Structure 1
């Protein structure tokens, strides 16, 4: 049975498992329109009330698919679902950030077939210097975008505003402290829990900056993302992963976690449970692409927490970089 948590200070009560938009936007492998419609209908039937999409998921496909499914839901149930989407600034947008943010929400609302969204978020990584990562924005850029988000909130086009907390941890922390934000999306999974605590000495993993305790301090709701590490913590990957990519390194690291798979519980389910064990996380939004994958993630709600002994084994593995030491300065 689905359980629910408060989303920071928003007053919203969200399902512990939400539906991320990557799968329904064809990002994580092949699926069909019928499978997508079935997945969204199943999500609603199982009590999922939080849906997180973005224009970049399938060039608008995730927004269109979600909008159509919610509009066609029986008895108007789709109107009661909480919908979050995002705006990502391109290099061309940086000359007039407020205009780009406003244009973004109107385009998203058209695809979603809604008059407003419940949450509108900045989707760029945030770094000290603009362009340090692919499509990253500076703190100053991000604050201009956040100001524009707040104006959309005042205009009634979104109920709440947030950011994707990716990039340089210190830069994201600065935006959280100054932005009067309602939510932040935080990378958090079995392989990298640096949003909760510092990485072990000598770790080659990306340090996400310990955003969870700061979000708790500020009353900002936390949306857990990438709990499956782009599929590395899942058995259902059906897309090609280049063998020399940094994502492929996560697949190697994930092999060391198979000790968790007891009594028929797959690693993907433990991955969701691990995120939900973190009390600062309000909801986890796996980007599943079909009903079977979603069923697996929902089952984590009733799964017992990972034991202290197994968490200790995880700490030992992390201290050794899971046996795979490779510089990791990416931002997923």
Structure 2
């Protein structure tokens, strides 16, 4: 498994990171033998980083990781990143929520610290609808201050955030210099994080985000690289939860996926491999977080990563599709 620099953390991260989330769900929805086999298969292939969150399966992802990590000798254990989703209506101070969430995560993970601890809530100019206000993140006594304290206490090595919500607010967070990493929405259906302008694309814009991360030397974890599975397969599993403003129309997502995949062509691998290789073609991305439903999906992703990034002719074909907004109206 090839590695890439992880921003200013000084770490090298595998190009493919094991996603422990709800959508893929191999660490949540399967039996223990399957979970263990997937976990060890990933480690054997050099995927030594697992990204999880307190909310994934109401802690089940973290509990599974904690059990499986304890079965390994110390020098074989993967690095772990986890996240806190704050209850913004609870009336409880955010710093207290963040601390409690990390302490509970560490208990489930059976660890004394994690390599990376991240804010999970989308960011916006004002708090509401699950989004946290920019001032609540960067202001005095806010999330960044709370995360700094946890890092100073040795409960995490680095701090990051999920760059969802309002793009301008996310860029402000990047440019604040307070965070080491960002999780960025980036796939063949919405490549805007890598663009200066959205052009013809009628999707939520994250334009300028990857450039901001590069300027400020943030490590970038690309998320939703398979668009909740729409790019990887025609089979629907009922967990295609939208995380962008335009992602709720599953039929529209499927049409965009068909146009993008047709443009790239099967000579560049399976659907999932084409989607992964697209993300790996972006040099501003440190790693792609890949959600898995079964062990075969891991093997498919590993083979796709081994093929390397998509070549320029395939990327040019995709740009033509984006310029037509995925042949919208055709």
Q: TM-score, normalised to structure 1's length?
A: 0.89
* Structure 1 residue aligned with 2:84: 87
Q: CA deviation at 1:34?
A: 2.1
Counterpart residue number, 2:158: 160
Contact 2:269–2:304 under 8 Å retained in 1 = no
Contact 1:97/1:145 (CA < 8 Å) preserved in 2? Answer: yes
Q: Deviations along 1:186-227, whole A, 9 cap, x unmatched?
A: 111111111110444343200013211111111111111111
Asked if 1:249 is matched to 2:244, the reply is no
Aligned mate of 2:168, from 143, 167, 170: 170
Residues matched between the structures, number: 319
Q: 1:37 matched to which residue of 2?
A: 36
Q: Distance in 1 between matches of 2:47 and 2:172?
A: 32
Deviation string, structure 1 residues 158-208 (Cα, Å, up to 9, x no partner): 000000111111001111112421101111111111111044434320001
Match of 2:321 among 303, 313, 317: 317
Q: Give unpaired runs (5+ residues) of structure 2.
A: 242-246
Number of the residue aligned with 1:141: 136
1:43-65 deviations in whole A, cap 9, x for unaligned?
Answer: 11111111100011111111111
Change in 2 beyond 3 A, CA 1:202/1:256? closer
Equivalent residue runs for 1:1-332 within 5 Å: 2-22=1-21, 26=25, 30-73=29-72, 75-79=73-77, 81-93=78-90, 95-131=92-128, 134-143=129-138, 144-235=142-233, 237-240=235-238, 245-259=248-262, 260-263=264-267, 265-324=269-328
Cα distance between partner residues in 2 of 1:247 and 1:99:
37
Partner-residue secondary structure (3-state), 2:183: strand
Change (3 A) 1:30 1:179: same
Q: Deviations over 1:303-327 (max 9, x none)?
A: 14323232222112112221347xx
Q: Using the TM superposition, give the Cα deviation of residue 25 of structure 1 relative to its aligned residue in structure 2, in angstroms.
A: 7.5
Local SS of the residue matching 1:85: strand
The alignment partner of 1:9 has SS state of helix
Query: CA separation of 1:263/1:203 partners in 2, compared to 1, >3 Å: closer, same or farther?
Result: closer
1:262 shift after superposition:
2.5
* Secondary structure at 1:229 match in 2: coil
Segments of 5+ residues of structure 1 without an aligned counterpart are: 326-332
Whether contact under 8 Å (1:23, 1:289) holds in the other structure is: no
Per-residue displacement from partner, 1:267-308 (whole Å, max 9, x unpaired)? 211111111111111111111122111111112222143232
**1:230-284: CA deviations, max 9, x gaps?**
1111127451369x94233212210113333424711211111111111111111
SS in 1 for 2:130: coil
Q: 1:162–1:184: 8 Å Cα contact kept in structure 2? A: yes
Verify the 8 A CA contact 1:188 1:226 in the aligned structure 2: yes
Per the TM alignment, residue 24 of structure 1 is displaced from its structure 2 partner at its CA by 8.6
Q: CA RMSD in A?
A: 2.3
User: In 1, are the aligned partners of 2:88 and 2:127 still within 8 Å (CA)?
Assistant: no
Query: C-alpha distance in 2, partners of 1:176/1:268?
Result: 30
Distance 1:228 1:216 in 2: 23
